[in-house]
Structure 1
Amino acid sequence: MKFTSVMKAVLFVKMSERFPGKHRFLVRGKQLIDYELERIRISGCFNEVVVLSKDRYLTTKNARIINDTTQGTLIDSLLFALEEEAEFMAFAGDMPLVSPDFIKKMCQMYNGRPVVPQWNDGKIEPMMAIYNNTLIQDLKAYINSGKKSLREFILNSGFERIDIPQTREMEYCFLNVNYPEDLLEVEKII
Structure 2
Amino acid sequence: MRSCIILCGGRSRRMGQDKGLMILDDKPVLIHLLGNLDNLVDEIILVLRDKKQVCSYQNLINDDKTLQEDHHPQIQLVTDLEKDQGPLLGLLTGLSHIKAGGALVLPCDSPYVSRYFIKKTFEKIEEKKVLAMVPQWPDGSLEPLHGYYHKKCIPIIDSILNRGLRDVRSLFNYIDVDYVGVEILDPEKTSFRNLNRPQDLK
Other structure's SS at 1:98 match: coil
User: Out of 114, 119, 134, which is 1:99 matched to?
Assistant: 114
For the residues of structure 1 that align with 2:173 and 2:35, how far apart are their CA atoms?
Answer: 30
Greater helix fraction, Structure 1 or Structure 2 = 2
**2:31 aligned partner, one-letter code:** D
For the residues of structure 2 that align with 1:74 and 1:138, how far apart are their CA atoms?
Answer: 15
User: Out of 32, 36, 45, which is 2:29 matched to?
Assistant: 32
Q: Does 1:152 align with 2:170?
A: yes
**Structure 1 counterpart of 2:179:** 161
Q: Deviations over 1:46-86 (max 9, x none)?
A: 11223222224222243625131432111111111222224
State the TM-score, normalizing by the size of structure 1. Answer: 0.83
State the TM-score, normalizing by the size of structure 2. Answer: 0.78
Other structure's SS at 1:181 match: helix
Offset at 1:183? 0.8
**Structure 1 counterpart of 2:12:** 16
Q: Deviations over 1:120-156 (max 9, x none)?
A: 1111111111111111122111111111221232254
**2:165 aligned partner, one-letter code:** K
Q: Does 1:66 align with 2:81?
A: no
Pairing 1:81-120 to 2, within 5 Å after superposition = 81-85=94-98, 86-111=101-126, 112-113=129-130, 114-120=132-138
Gaps of at least 5 residues in structure 1 are 185-190
Verify the 8 A CA contact 1:106 1:162 in the aligned structure 2: no
Other structure's SS at 1:127 match: helix
Q: 1:155 to 1:102 in 2, by over 3 A?
A: farther
**Structure 2 counterpart of 1:48:** 43
Offset at 1:32? 1.0
Verify the 8 A CA contact 1:92 1:127 in the aligned structure 2: yes
Verify the 8 A CA contact 2:87 2:167 in the aligned structure 1: no
Offset at 1:110? 0.9
For the residues of structure 2 that align with 1:22 and 1:16, how far apart are their CA atoms?
Answer: 6
**Structure 1 counterpart of 2:191:** 173
Gaps of at least 5 residues in structure 2 are 68-73
For the residues of structure 1 that align with 2:166 and 2:75, how far apart are their CA atoms?
Answer: 27
For the residues of structure 2 that align with 1:168 and 1:32, how far apart are their CA atoms?
Answer: 22
For the residues of structure 2 that align with 1:38 and 1:122, how far apart are their CA atoms?
Answer: 31
For the residues of structure 1 that align with 2:96 and 2:18, how far apart are their CA atoms?
Answer: 27
Please, what is the CA RMSD of the aligned residues? 2.1
Q: Percent identity, please.
A: 21
